[in-house]
Amino acid sequence: MAMDTSAKKAVTQIATMEEDFPQWYTDIVKKAELVDYSPVKGCMVIRPNGYAIWEGIMGFLDTKFKETGHENVYMPLLIPESLLEVEKQHVEGFAPEVAWVTMGGSEQLTEKLCIRPTSEVHFCDHWSKTVESYNDLPRLYNQWCSVLRWEKTTRPFLRTMEFLWQEGHTIHATAEEAVEETLRMLDIYRQCYEDYMAIPVIPGRKTEKEKFAGARETYTVESMMKDGKALQAATSHYFGDGFAKAFNVRFTDKDGKLKNPHQTSWGLTTRSIGALIMVHGDNSGLVLPPRVAPTQVIIVPIAFHKEGVLEKAAELESSLKKAGIRVKTDKSEKSAGWKFAEHEMKGVPIRIEMGPRDIENNKCIAAIRYTGEKRELSLDNVEEEIKNLLAEIQEGMFEAARERMNTRIYTAENLEVLKTIAAEKPGFIKAAWCGDQECEERLKDEAGVSSRCILEEETPAEDAVCVCCGKKAQHTILWGKAY
Amino acid sequence: MAMDTSAKKAVTQIATMEEDFPQWYTDIVKKAELVDYSPVKGCMVIRPNGYAIWEGIMGFLDTKFKETGHENVYMPLLIPESLLEVEKQHVEGFAPEVAWVTMGGSEQLTEKLCIRPTSEVHFCDHWSKTVESYNDLPRLYNQWCSVLRWEKTTRPFLRTMEFLWQEGHTIHATAEEAVEETLRMLDIYRQCYEDYMAIPVIPGRKTEKEKFAGARETYTVESMMKDGKALQAATSHYFGDGFAKAFNVRFTDKDGKLKNPHQTSWGLTTRSIGALIMVHGDNSGLVLPPRVAPTQVIIVPIAFHKEGVLEKAAELESSLKKAGIRVKTDKSEKSAGWKFAEHEMKGVPIRIEMGPRDIENNKCIAAIRYTGEKRELSLDNVEEEIKNLLAEIQEGMFEAARERMNTRIYTAENLEVLKTIAAEKPGFIKAAWCGDQECEERLKDEAGVSSRCILEEETPAEDAVCVCCGKKAQHTILWGKAY
């Protein structure tokens, strides 16, 4: 089947990522019909193709959360100003970027209410009223909702005023348990990215400068986009008992003493869809890993007005469906080339082409989205073949993404080398650091890189020195330019 | 096993519904741990027990929506004032009861933004930009989210400032298709109440006075609480092309002409949890139908420190789980009586009691929450027995609720009779009506009843007259006192 190139061009008229990466990203977001702009500056309309991806991510995470004993709840959208102000660092971090409700109906409110930028304060307030003894612990809660942060510069999925997320909030009798929980949830995020979205991530701990407002420690999984820039993919925070003290959350422990519990929170947002685009996408559009793809297989019957073609396609669709594969058939009147381009743009992992001659020979063609390769498959055992192919694609996409990331992680021994790499080579840089915020800021100013995370398992050598100031090194840091 | 009555009293210290129905309701909401009050007036914290019920309802509906071709999307939380004002009736209905954002960060906004009370305007705006031809129709969208309406008097689930819901929004090429959709979704709501929640409902059409702001027709399913009052359980609206015209949503039809599509919207909210409480609850607390219940079976091992009891309970739990039953075992150190009362309060449909002597005799006791009946079951075929029992309870609860409702629907031929029934007998009243809003208002003033819906299948007889003014009757109306 020859490709109808003019049709392909009309559908896929997008910038190439080599010439204009940001424009390429925006084009995919629009042309794959993931998002539409809305009349509210900085807020997006998430269209069915985009939302279906989010439903998949929610499904994966919600199952994992429940398997690890978490329960879902719902806290109010609005937060009274006085409640936001209870924890000092927290309000300093968030107050400048919230939307304020000052009127209800036609009435002026006596106290402003902000739209939640995150919900720690509601969870703490609730626990202060409902937790009494060690029997009530741990409380392992999660909430699916939207939050709002008053951002000036926004981009669909990556940075929007309003976004969808889950926010997990837990309290525990001991610090050990809380730290364990923080890391357990970080690992579930790693699984969600690596096993489900085929996106390799690097886990680590945030520096003092980069951590969450009010947290004692923030852990992160960092991912690398095709342009070499970093995306903070999800974070998990350990709070110690700071919030509990501020909100007077207390429990009577086994020893009869009144104590403050230790707290965590963790979140993953619709930003993850931006990562999917920038890690797997290409110049024909979105490329979805099979586990994520709302449609895993699109059947495009060729010359389908000829006798028997549509019947055979329907038969194939039904047998793939029975095998648990998410499959659709495109029976629209568009040209085959047009259809190919459309489904490529939307990132469908496998396209099956099947025309009269294929049917005669009891076979079909499977076109693999992420490599462009075409394979001839016998119709005899096609369910099994497609299942194996989907698994192969999932694995292959992950390996390819890991390879792309690993080959672009550099090491810098001194400032000059670091600056040269930062200027010339897109990617991450590993370099030792003394722990001083001044050096961190200097690297930002002079090399344009920020610390993505502390690589906790890569302790610097005894004699290693800070890449910036030359003092004794405390940590190995992953540096990069970030979204 | 003798009941530990003092323990039971401590857990179930709630008002009886006979002495104080509103207090009884509030007590269940708190003691069954469905909801907690929040620091935001009129907004609730939905706790795990409450949210799990909502997750079940979402699961039922979402499956039905997808089976009927609907796709989920997400529209912004905020609506600019100018967008809300596009459709005149709509803004008149909603503007007095919205919360207004007037500040972002520390900046005063040039245009106020309201928190969505419903999202018709966003959907219309989106369609005006993305629909071009009949090929783009129908658009069958749904959104799961929270909405906010600035209410003065609130009660958990029944009337809260913020509530969770789904809002379906669709557009169609013809009025016929849109009306068909309106009624199809109304029937899915009926199924959700009757088949899933075991709550009988009466479908009908709202009068002019009671319909949704901007709708041409509003359809409703009405349910009857144990106190005889009505609860509007869900609504489905047909808009005609009024919104489409106001928002300039247009498509080129098959005949080449530019037309406005016909629109619907439909919603079901967390209010449904209030209905569950007030239709099935009793003086020991919540009573959940098996299909809704997050925990369908609670195993309470008796004298479980004796050898073999916990092992046998674990065996039973595991085999019930394998059979697809949602089951838990209460191994806490509380007294059996205390546990009984707690799980009764939470509405678990079946409690299984199993002690050393039961195990010796290869049996257990199943206590049925909604009747209080106890049955001896052999452990040999217990999965099958419990499955059948759950189905029997589901059916029995529905039949009991239907019986309760049907015996309290009265008929009134004239105003005096109607007033007497309204004053003396809790329930619904069927009566003929001329169609005049004046009569509707008079019945509200004089008898305290509002029109719940027009019973479209019960056309008044040729010579029937309005119960209020004596003029020729147009419709049979279901009247009632409503939440």
Kindly report, residue by residue over B290-343, the tens digit of the pLDDT: 999 999 999 999 988 899 999 999 999 999 999 999 999 999 989 999 999 999
> Using a CB-CB distance cutoff of 8 angstroms, which residues of chain A are in contact with residue B131?
none
- From B308, B297, B311, select the one nearest B357 (Cα to Cα): B308
User: Mind telling me how many Å the CA of B20 is from chain A's nearest CA?
Assistant: 26
Kindly report, residue by residue over A68-79, the tens digit of the pLDDT: 999 999 999 999
Place of tokens 């139908």: B289
Kindly report, residue by residue over B120-133, the tens digit of the pLDDT: 999 999 999 999 99
Cβ of A48 within 8 Å of Cβ of B40? The answer is no
> Using a CB-CB distance cutoff of 8 angstroms, which residues of chain A are in contact with residue B46?
73-75
For B30, nearest residue in chain A (alpha carbons): A130
**Mean pLDDT of the region A17-46:** 96
Answer for the pair B362, B32: CB distance below 8 angstroms, yes or no.
no
**Mean pLDDT of the region B254-260:** 97
Answer for the pair A358, A364: CB distance below 8 angstroms, yes or no.
yes
Alpha helices in A346-381 (DSSP H): 356-360
Give pLDDT, residue A7. 54
Give pLDDT, residue A3. 47
| Contact status of A45 with chain B (Cβ, < 8 Å) | yes
Q: Where are the beta strands (DSSP E) in B11-138?
A: 35-37, 44-46, 71-72, 78-80, 99-104, 107-115
Q: List the 68-107 stretch of A: residues with Cβ below 8 A of B.
A: 71-80, 83, 96-106
Place of tokens 């209030």: B274
**Single-letter residue type at A229:** K
Q: Are strands B428-433 and B475-480 parallel, antiparallel or unpaired?
A: antiparallel
Q: Where are the beta strands (DSSP E) in A70-161?
A: 71-72, 78-80, 99-104, 107-115, 139-148
Determine the 3-state secondary structure of B339 from DSSP.
Answer: helix
Quick count: other Cβ atoms within 10 Å of Cβ B418? 23
Percent with pLDDT over 70 in chain B: 98
Quick count: other Cβ atoms within 10 Å of Cβ A463? 7
DSSP designation for B448: -
> Using a CB-CB distance cutoff of 8 angstroms, which residues of chain A are in contact with residue B71?
48, 51-52
On the question of pLDDT at A398 being above 90, the answer is yes
Task: Record the tokens describing residue B307, joined without a space.
Answer: 């050898």
* Pairwise CA distance, residues A356 & A110, whole Å: 73
Confidence of residue A232 (pLDDT cuts 50, 70, 90): very high
Cβ of B72 within 8 Å of Cβ of A78? The answer is no
User: Mind telling me how many Å the CA of B253 is from chain A's nearest CA?
Assistant: 17
User: Mind telling me how many Å the CA of A416 is from chain B's nearest CA?
Assistant: 40
Give pLDDT, residue B1. 39
Cβ of A164 within 8 Å of Cβ of B74? The answer is yes
Confidence of residue A12 (pLDDT cuts 50, 70, 90): low
DSSP designation for A44: E
| Contact status of A36 with chain B (Cβ, < 8 Å) | yes
One-character DSSP codes across A202-267: EEEE--GGGS-TT-SEEEEEEEE-TTS-EEEEEEEEEEETHHHHHHT--EE-TTS-EEPPEEEEEE
Cβ of B100 within 8 Å of Cβ of A103? The answer is yes
* Pairwise CA distance, residues A328 & A299, whole Å: 6
**Mean pLDDT of the region B165-173:** 98
How far, CA to CA in Å, does B466 sit from each of A253, B412, B440, B472?
69, 10, 10, 6
Give pLDDT, residue B26. 97
| Contact status of B115 with chain A (Cβ, < 8 Å) | yes
**Mean pLDDT of the region B254-264:** 98
Write the CB contacts of A419 (distance below 8 Å, at least 6 apart in sequence): A446, A447
| Contact status of A164 with chain B (Cβ, < 8 Å) | yes
**Mean pLDDT of the region B138-149:** 98
Sign of the dihedral through C-alpha B320, B322, B328, B333:
positive
**For chain A, what is the radius of gyration of the CA atoms?**
25
User: Mind telling me how many Å the CA of A360 is from chain B's nearest CA?
Assistant: 33
| Contact status of B471 with chain A (Cβ, < 8 Å) | no
Cβ of B73 within 8 Å of Cβ of A51? The answer is yes
Instruction: Characterize B12-42 residue by residue with b for buried, 16 or more Cβ atoms within 10 angstroms of its Cβ, and e for exposed.
Output: bebbebeeebeebbbbbbebbbbbbebbbbb
Confidence of residue A95 (pLDDT cuts 50, 70, 90): confident
- From A454, A81, A89, A455, select the one nearest A239 (Cα to Cα): A89
Kindly report, residue by residue over B94-123, the tens digit of the pLDDT: 888 999 999 998 899 999 999 999 999 999
Give pLDDT, residue A91. 84
- The residues that bridge with A162 in the sheet, in sequence order, are A148
Residue A292 exposed, middle or buried by CB count within 10 Å (0-12, 13-18, 19+): buried
On the question of pLDDT at A273 being above 60, the answer is yes
> Using a CB-CB distance cutoff of 8 angstroms, which residues of chain A are in contact with residue B38?
75-76, 122, 125-126
Q: What share of chain A is helix, strand, coil (3-state, %, to 5)?
A: 40, 30, 35
Quick count: other Cβ atoms within 10 Å of Cβ B350? 26
Place of tokens 């933004």: B113
Task: Record the tokens describing residue A409, joined without a space.
Answer: 């992680």
Kindly report, residue by residue over A189-224, the tens digit of the pLDDT: 999 999 999 999 999 999 999 999 889 999 999 999
Cβ of A48 within 8 Å of Cβ of B36? The answer is no
| Contact status of B330 with chain A (Cβ, < 8 Å) | no
Quick count: other Cβ atoms within 10 Å of Cβ B231? 22
Mutate to test the interface with A, among B33, B73, B153 (most CBs of A within 10 A): B73
Task: Record the tokens describing residue B33, joined without a space.
Answer: 């741990």
Give pLDDT, residue B11. 65
Write the CB contacts of A155 (distance below 8 Å, at least 6 apart in sequence): A22, A25, A26, A274
Place of tokens 């949890």: B273
User: Mind telling me how many Å the CA of B78 is from chain A's nearest CA?
Assistant: 7
* ipTM confidence score: 0.95
* Pairwise CA distance, residues A266 & A268, whole Å: 7
One-character DSSP codes across A136-170: G--EEEEEEEEEE---SS-BTTTB-SEEEEEEEEE
Residue B457 exposed, middle or buried by CB count within 10 Å (0-12, 13-18, 19+): exposed
- From B37, B104, B107, select the one nearest A115 (Cα to Cα): B104
Give pLDDT, residue A1. 39
* Pairwise CA distance, residues A232 & A455, whole Å: 14
* Pairwise CA distance, residues A113 & B115, whole Å: 12
Cβ of A113 within 8 Å of Cβ of B40? The answer is yes
**Single-letter residue type at B237:** H
> Using a CB-CB distance cutoff of 8 angstroms, which residues of chain A are in contact with residue B148?
77-78
On the question of pLDDT at A255 being above 70, the answer is yes
- Helix (H) or strand (E) run with residue A123 in it: helix A120-130
Cβ of A99 within 8 Å of Cβ of B103? The answer is yes
> Using a CB-CB distance cutoff of 8 angstroms, which residues of chain B are in contact with residue A269?
none
Please tell me the pTM assigned to this model: 0.96
> Using a CB-CB distance cutoff of 8 angstroms, which residues of chain B are in contact with residue A46?
73-75
Long-range contacts of A137-140 (CB under 8 A, 24+ apart): A137/A171, A137/A172, A137/A173, A137/A251, A137/A261, A138/A170, A138/A171, A138/A172, A138/A173, A138/A177, A138/A181, A138/A261, A139/A170, A139/A171, A140/A68, A140/A69, A140/A70, A140/A71, A140/A168, A140/A170, A140/A181
**Closest partner residue to B77 among A36, A129, A146, by Cβ?**
A146
Give pLDDT, residue A2. 43
Write the CB contacts of B7 (distance below 8 Å, at least 6 apart in sequence): B334, B335, B337, B338, B341
**Closest partner residue to B39 among A40, A51, A125, by Cβ?**
A125
- Helix (H) or strand (E) run with residue A190 in it: helix A175-191
Task: Record the tokens describing residue B137, joined without a space.
Answer: 């129709």
Residue A278 exposed, middle or buried by CB count within 10 Å (0-12, 13-18, 19+): buried
**Mean pLDDT of the region A298-314:** 93
**For chain B, what is the radius of gyration of the CA atoms?**
25
Give pLDDT, residue A276. 98
Task: Record the tokens describing residue B458, joined without a space.
Answer: 């019960």
Confidence of residue A408 (pLDDT cuts 50, 70, 90): very high
Cβ of B76 within 8 Å of Cβ of A145? The answer is no
Quick count: other Cβ atoms within 10 Å of Cβ A251? 20
**Closest partner residue to A51 among B36, B74, B80, by Cβ?**
B74
Answer for the pair A288, A49: CB distance below 8 angstroms, yes or no.
no
Dihedral pair phi/psi, residue A108, rounded to 5°: -80, 135
How far, CA to CA in Å, does B423 sit from each of B427, B448, B449?
10, 8, 10
Mutate to test the interface with B, among A70, A100, A339 (most CBs of B within 10 A): A100
Cβ of A78 within 8 Å of Cβ of B99? The answer is yes
Cβ of B71 within 8 Å of Cβ of A51? The answer is yes
Kindly report, residue by residue over B176-210, the tens digit of the pLDDT: 999 999 999 999 999 999 999 999 999 999 999 99
Task: Record the tokens describing residue A219, joined without a space.
Answer: 């852990």
On the question of pLDDT at A313 being above 80, the answer is yes
| Contact status of A43 with chain B (Cβ, < 8 Å) | yes
User: Mind telling me how many Å the CA of A106 is from chain B's nearest CA?
Assistant: 6
Mutate to test the interface with A, among B36, B41, B45 (most CBs of A within 10 A): B45
For A82, nearest residue in chain B (alpha carbons): B39
Task: Record the tokens describing residue A329, joined without a space.
Answer: 């058939």
Cβ of A74 within 8 Å of Cβ of B51? The answer is yes
* Pairwise CA distance, residues A426 & A414, whole Å: 18
- The mean pLDDT of chain A is 95
**Mean pLDDT of the region B72-89:** 94
* Pairwise CA distance, residues B151 & B271, whole Å: 14
**Mean pLDDT of the region A324-337:** 95
* Pairwise CA distance, residues A32 & A369, whole Å: 14
Mutate to test the interface with A, among B37, B40, B41, B273 (most CBs of A within 10 A): B40
Give pLDDT, residue A328. 98
Kindly report, residue by residue over A340-357, the tens digit of the pLDDT: 999 999 999 999 999 999
**Closest partner residue to B162 among A54, A72, A76, by Cβ?**
A76
- From A261, A273, A276, A324, select the one nearest A297 (Cα to Cα): A324
